Structure 1
Amino acid sequence: MRGRQLRRAAICLLAVVATVPVTGCGSGQEAVDRPATARSEGVRAASDAEREAAEKAALEAYSGYLAASRTASRRSDPHAPELSRFLADPLLTRVQLSIRDAKEHGAMRTGTLASDPSVTIVSLDSNPATVEIQDCLDATAYRLVYTKDQRVVPGSGGGRHLATATATRYPDGRWLISSGSAHPDQPC
């Protein structure tokens, strides 16, 4: 009976944790439903140099987000300070809750995660400025394991799939990843 409860808890945990620490899995509608602010007549178009700087900063924030979430997941530390260096709400809270849930169920993430992100949209004229990122994540070597004995949580195997994220420029000039979605039904 206890084994069945643990297996059921592990499956529920997997549904929540499998992609959130990796991509901040959301409904997939955060970036789609958010209205873009129309360009005002007095606003000049962003220069190529500004666009390139925004792309570079957004990709650095995304890379930092993946590294910070892997480290925090491996340590089972939902309040790891590096998370807030690269993430903003609502994604920050979802990642923290996912790591906390894994910890409460005696699990953590281990292994490597391969990433190949690219910028798809730069919206410097919106308020706030945003950059949309698309990634092909390879999670085949990134596993959810039981902390106690390092056994792989059943059903936690990963694969290659599409992920999207939004980097937002905050008033202090920092670019932070504020939303993200995993698309496990879309292999890459």
Structure 2
Amino acid sequence: MRERQLRGVVAYLVTVAVLGAAAGCGTDRGATTATAADDAAPARARSGADEQTARKAALAAYSGYLAASRKASGRSDPQHPELSTFLADPLLTRVRLAIRTAKEHGAVRVGTLGSDPAVTSVDLDAVPPTVEIQDCLDATGWRLVYARDKRVVPGSRGTRHLATATATRYPDGRWLISAGASHEDQPC
């Protein structure tokens, strides 16, 4: 009788040990569910990391756009090579047209342009993925002047106002500013 009890206890311990080892290795049904949930957590973390990467890349493209447009406007050069590094159509064409129009009238931009951009939304599921940016542009020190005598062009005084932009990720992986608007009727 004692021998049968001992065999039963040993069988029980072996069963517990095997099931415990199986659960630890993830072969148990409950363990598989827990593993799937654990795998989803890094995916969410990757998604958050992807969103953060997109935010940084979009803000870098926006900063590059402002710097390139300042250089191009200061030289009255609508074909400045840095414009296409940070801009895409339709905004690229609009910026080039504005610079060319100023050039045709003998005007250039001088001074400083203040900027304080912030990302307002990220949509990595859009086709193509986009990031929306809102900025408070300070154009009070950014003047349109006649190139020959540096007189301020009448009616071109700058203001502090809201600006919005859309950064788009292109198939080659670059983030470019593809759309933008200056809301001069909305001070900030």
Could you state the TM-score of these two structures normalised by the residue count of structure 2? 0.76
**Distance in 1 (alpha carbons) for counterparts of 2:160 and 2:123:** 28
2:186 aligned residue: 186
1:54 Cα deviation (Å)? 0.0
2:128 aligned residue: 128
Return the letter of the residue paired with 2:149. Answer: D
Q: State the SS of the aligned residue for 1:78.
A: coil
| Structure with larger RCO (C-alpha < 8 A, sep 6+) | 1
1:158 aligned residue: 158
Q: Is 2:107 aligned against 1:107? A: yes
1:53 Cα deviation (Å)? 0.1
**Distance in 1 (alpha carbons) for counterparts of 2:101 and 2:114:** 24
1:57 aligned residue: 57
Q: State the SS of the aligned residue for 1:186.
A: strand
Instruction: State how 1:1-188 maps to structure 2 within 5 Å.
Output: 47-188=47-188
Return the letter of the residue paired with 1:106. Answer: G
**CA radius of gyration, larger in:** 2
1:32 aligned residue: none
Number of residue pairs matched? 145
1:83 Cα deviation (Å)? 0.1
**Distance in 2 (alpha carbons) for counterparts of 1:140 and 1:114:** 8
- Mark the runs of 5 or more structure 2 residues left unpaired by the alignment: 1-42
Return the letter of the residue paired with 1:161. Answer: H
Return the letter of the residue paired with 2:58. Answer: A
**Distance in 2 (alpha carbons) for counterparts of 1:65 and 1:47:** 26
Q: State the SS of the aligned residue for 2:132.
A: strand
How large is the RMSD of aligned CA atoms in angstroms? 1.0
1:82 Cα deviation (Å)? 0.2
1:64 Cα deviation (Å)? 0.1
Return the letter of the residue paired with 1:99. Answer: I
1:155 Cα deviation (Å)? 1.1
**Distance in 2 (alpha carbons) for counterparts of 1:98 and 1:116:** 23
**Distance in 1 (alpha carbons) for counterparts of 2:137 and 2:104:** 26
Deviation track 1:105-160 (CA, whole Å, cap 9, x = no partner) reads 00010000000000001000000000000000000000000001000001110110
1:6 aligned residue: none
1:62 Cα deviation (Å)? 0.1
**Distance in 2 (alpha carbons) for counterparts of 1:71 and 1:109:** 9
**Distance in 2 (alpha carbons) for counterparts of 1:166 and 1:186:** 18
Q: State the SS of the aligned residue for 1:64.
A: helix
**Distance in 2 (alpha carbons) for counterparts of 1:104 and 1:181:** 23
**Distance in 1 (alpha carbons) for counterparts of 2:73 and 2:154:** 18
